[in-house]
Amino acid sequence: MKARKQVSDMKTSAHDDANMAPSQEPASATVEEEEEEIDIDLNDPEVEKAATKIQAGFKGMKARKNVKAVKVCDFEVGCLLS
């Protein structure tokens, strides 16, 4: 939120300084908004814990899906053999 306010203030000050109409935005202001970088420290222990938790959840989901598929297949094969 702080970054958005700063960009908004920069636009306002640029318009006031150059006496531009609001529809005549400088091209650099819109580029700054679109190219906001997210800097994540990948060596941070909390980030590593979060990534591990996400990966574990995904692996668990895949395993449950595979077990369900095997159970359905065994059930169908058992029914076909009877």
pTM over 0.85: no
Per-residue confidence in pLDDT tens, the chain, 82 aa: 677 777 777 777 765 655 555 555 555 656 556 778 888 888 999 999 999 999 999 999 999 999 988 888 776 665 454 4
For the chain, domain boundaries: 1-37, 41-82
Which DSSP category does 42 fall into?
T
81 exposure class (CB count in 10 Å sphere: 0-12, 13-18, 19+): exposed
Q: What is the DSSP string of 21-41?
A: -TT---HHHHHHHHT------
Residue 21, both tokens: 């109409």
